[in-house]
Amino acid sequence: MTAGPLLDRQAFHERLREVGMTRYHDKHPFHIAMNEGRLNPEQVKGWIVNRFYYQRNIPVKDAAIVSNCPLREVRRLWLHRISDHDGLKEGEGGIENWLRLGEAAGLSREDLLSGKGLLPEARAAVDSYVTFARTKPWPIAVASSLTELFAPDLMKNRITAFEKHYTWVKSWGLDYFKSRVTQARVDSDQGLELTFTYCDTREMQEEAVKALQFKCGLLWDLVESVAQAYGGAK
């Protein structure tokens, strides 16, 4: 049974946005509690430790997409995501900034790098994302990154919440979130264009929508595992 005619750009975009509007983790009670200032330090630190495993695997996920992509013009576009997180030298990049967020919250770099406190469900959620990127056609893995369409607003709310409610976290630790407000917009614009261009059959478009549902699910599972372990999502 065919999936039907190709969706035009606007209809496809609407289908993708619909997924995030209903399933993105900004609606998870833990993130709502975070943004309303209702989390205690243990809950915030538990979230920082478990989210670090996601951050350190983003470049691995993006390298998988690059390794699966036969088009140099696309690889050129995607490569910056690896250095955005790994940095171009020691002391730079998003993973470094997340380690600094941990230090700003009183966690040591060793705490985060050792994986101590990483919840099995959080690890499984992140590992499922890397496996997805390694095994799915590269345009479908690109489409799964489009959760970032919804990240800028979440970052802005999070920065406001930390500055207002979590002043025990030193302000320089928020650099990572501040960098993502614009970077998420740049990344999602780029990811959207690639998705429009290379998901060029209705079947691929439907797979892209499913990829975004899958990614929303793993982000939800990640934060849910922290809420289950530390509470806070009441």
Residues engaged in binding ligand AHQ (CB under 6 A): 55, 58, 94, 145, 147-148, 151, 154, 180
* Closest approach of ligand AHQ to the CB of residue 149, in Å: 8
The whole-angstrom separation of Cα 48 and Cα 51 is: 5
Select 6 or 137, whichever has its Cβ closest to ligand AHQ.
Answer: 137
Select 1 or 152, whichever has its Cβ closest to ligand AHQ.
Answer: 152
Q: From the CB of residue 200, how many other CB atoms can be counted at a distance below 10 Å?
A: 12
* Closest approach of ligand AHQ to the CB of residue 55, in Å: 6
* Closest approach of ligand AHQ to the CB of residue 69, in Å: 14
* Closest approach of ligand AHQ to the CB of residue 147, in Å: 4
Q: What angle do CA 182, 183, 186 make, to 5 degrees?
A: 90
* Closest approach of ligand AHQ to the CB of residue 34, in Å: 10
Select 7 or 23, whichever has its Cβ closest to ligand AHQ.
Answer: 23
In 3D space, the residue among 222, 162, 174, 180 whose CA is nearest the CA of residue 41 turns out to be 162
Judge whether 215 and 147 are in contact, CB under 8 Å.
yes
Long-range contacts of the stretch 39-42 (C-beta < 8 A, 24+): 39/166, 39/232, 40/232, 41/105, 41/106, 41/168, 42/230
Phi, psi angles (nearest 5°) of residue 8: -75, 170
Select 126 or 229, whichever has its Cβ closest to ligand AHQ.
Answer: 126
